[in-house]
Amino acid sequence: MNKDMLAALACRLGGKAVFLAVPKGEKGPVKPGWQKVTYEETQRPEYIDRLITGNIGVLLGKASSGLCTIDIDSDTRAEEFAELNPKLTKTFQTKGARGRNFWVMIDGEFPPLHKIKAGQEEWGEWRSDGGQTIVYGTHPSGVAYSYPNQGSSVVKIKFDEIVWPNDIQKPWVVEEATEESKDLEKRFGSPFKIRVNQKTGDEVVVGINEPFWAAKYFTENRILWEPSEKMFYMYDQETGLWGHKTEDTIKQEISSSILEHGRDANQPSTQDMRSERLLTSITRQLRGMVEIRDAFVNKGTPGVHCANSYITFDDLGNIHEHEFSPDFYSRNQSPIEFQGIDLEPERFINELLIPTLPNKDDIAIFQKYGGMCLFGRNIIQRFMVMYGQAGGGKSTLVNIVLNIVGKHNMAGLRTGHLNNQFELYRFRAKTLLSGTDVPGNFLS
């Protein structure tokens, strides 16, 4: 190792790696206080001179601007991990006697150092704050550390993007769950009602703490209760939609959670306490915790929910494209993807609109009204009526609009039934009413 090689190595590791001096043939520093070494210290000439005489480690985590490693103990497991993470096959890697280290620059938050097991076997280690990994030198077995991915640099990635094998234990997940459970217990009490047997001193579960389980479900799911509709809605991250969630489904999920928690706590008696009455009571507690009145009327930003993004408009008419978010409170999505505003619907205009609506003003009105249908709000508070002889193309144009808006967002307008009980309920969560191929006195 020389100074030029060290500088090149630093570049491959993101430019801000905190190098540690390690005796040759050792797997870690022996000098106390190495966890507190700063990047500025490593730039001193005397420190660099000491580095290049032995093994070199890297202080991981926040000290090195988010540089972390995934240490995998066996070659087979390393290959399996690489197959699950194609992006990380391109990252900087180091290898000692066996296994491999995948070096990553984490974008955002990441857990502290953890050992990882697959069943009872050691799988490897997630190395971050408080840990270090050898990047250059000689392994204790006598082999030189090698670089399976020659010429590569460290890849930047979010921790949640890393795909882990199904059979490994993820201690950071357990740790997060434990912290969340402690917070819930502080706010809502213990999950189970405990009584101490005065004779034996044993703790006996005598009941279920309903507020705890309602709060637990709330913290684990993005859910709301719409009191005017008397319905639960759950947010779907894949579609960006708030969809109806039945109370029966919620009860079953809470019941399963109680059963699992009881088994983990070695309290099997809790499985017999999950009665319909208890689950109904917990669900009612949940209502009060997540209630948002008129959630889909007065909340969120008006816009168009496309298949791939959410579109909003500012006061100047400019279009802004957003990723899906629960804060839009959207229940209606078009099946069509947004592909920019530069595309002109020439075929639609020339082959369908002009033959059906020869008048330019009618064409402009149809396009604007069609856009308002997609927007999902009747801003002008008007019906659009298309009339004329059969076979003129009216139904074709209307069907195109319905398919762009999404037929699942449409309800048929039956004027003869509007005074009937429950007829208006059919319009719940719909953004478009339509009556096609109807007689001339349809609105009479």
Q: What is the DSSP string of 202-231?
A: -EEEEEE-HHHHHHHHHHHS-EEEETTTTE
Tokens 């180091």, residue located = 94
Helix (H, G, I), strand (E, B) or coil at 317: coil
Q: What is the largest CA-CA distance in the chain?
A: 95
| pLDDT above 80: residue 416 | no
Percent above pLDDT 70 for the chain: 97
Torsion of CA 254, 258, 264, 269, to 10 degrees: -160
CATH class name, domain 3-158? alpha beta
pLDDT in tens, 187-212: 898 888 888 777 777 777 888 999 99
The region, left, alpha or beta by phi > 0 then psi within -120 to 50, assigned to residue 384 is beta
> Does residue 349 carry a pLDDT above 90?
no
Under the banding of pLDDT at 50, 70 and 90, the label for residue 420 is confident
Q: What is the pLDDT of residue 387?
A: 76
Work out the number of other CB atoms within 10 angstroms of the CB of residue 260: 11
390-399: b (≥16 Cβ within 10 Å) or e: eeeebeebbe
The secondary structure element, H or E, covering residue 281 is helix 276-290
Terminal Cα-to-Cα distance of the chain (whole angstroms): 91
329: pLDDT strictly greater than 90: yes
Phi-psi region of 333 (alpha: psi -120 to 50; beta: other; left: phi over 0): beta
Mean pLDDT score, 339-347: 79
| Among 160-164, 278-282, 283-287, 414-418, the least confident range | 414-418
Dist CA 70 CA 409 (whole Å): 47
Q: What is the DSSP letter of 346?
A: H
- Alpha helix stretches (DSSP H) within 301-356: 346-347, 354-356
Confidence of residue 178 (pLDDT cuts 50, 70, 90): low
Q: Which residue has the higher pLDDT, 352 or 245?
A: 245
Whole-number average pLDDT of the chain: 88
Cβ count near 322 (within 10 Å): 14
Looking at the predicted structure, is the pLDDT value of residue 411 above 90?
Answer: no
Say how far apart CA 141 and CA 434 lie, in whole Å.
Answer: 77
Q: What is the pLDDT of residue 171?
A: 81
Q: Are 72 and 100 in contact (CB under 8 A)?
A: yes
Q: Identify whether the C-beta of residue 202 lies closer than 8 Å to the C-beta of residue 183.
A: no
CB 329 within 8 A of CB 242: yes
Question: Which pLDDT belongs to residue 435?
Answer: 76
Q: What DSSP assignment string belongs to 20-80?
A: EEE-TT-SS--STTGGG--TTGGGSHHHHHHHTTSEEEEE-BGGGTTEEEEEESSHHHHHH
Please say if the pLDDT value at position 113 is more than 80: yes
* Residue 438 pLDDT exceeds 70: no
If you average pLDDT over residues 345-372, what whole number do you get?
Answer: 87
pLDDT at 439: 65
Q: What's the pLDDT band for 371 if we cut at 50, 70, 90? A: confident
Q: What is the pLDDT of residues 4-58, one digit of tens each?
A: 888 989 999 998 999 999 999 898 888 888 999 999 999 999 999 988 889 999 9
pLDDT of residue 444: 63
Q: Is the pTM of this model over 0.85?
A: no
Q: What pLDDT is recorded for position 393?
A: 80
Task: Provide the residue ranges of all domains of the chain, joining segments of one domain with +.
Answer: 3-158, 175-296, 346-434
Residues 387-412 have a mean pLDDT of: 82
The predicted-structure confidence for 122-177, as pLDDT tens digits, reads as follows: 999 999 998 999 999 999 999 999 999 888 999 999 999 999 998 888 888 766 66
Q: How confident is the model at residue 243 (pLDDT cuts 50, 70, 90)?
A: very high
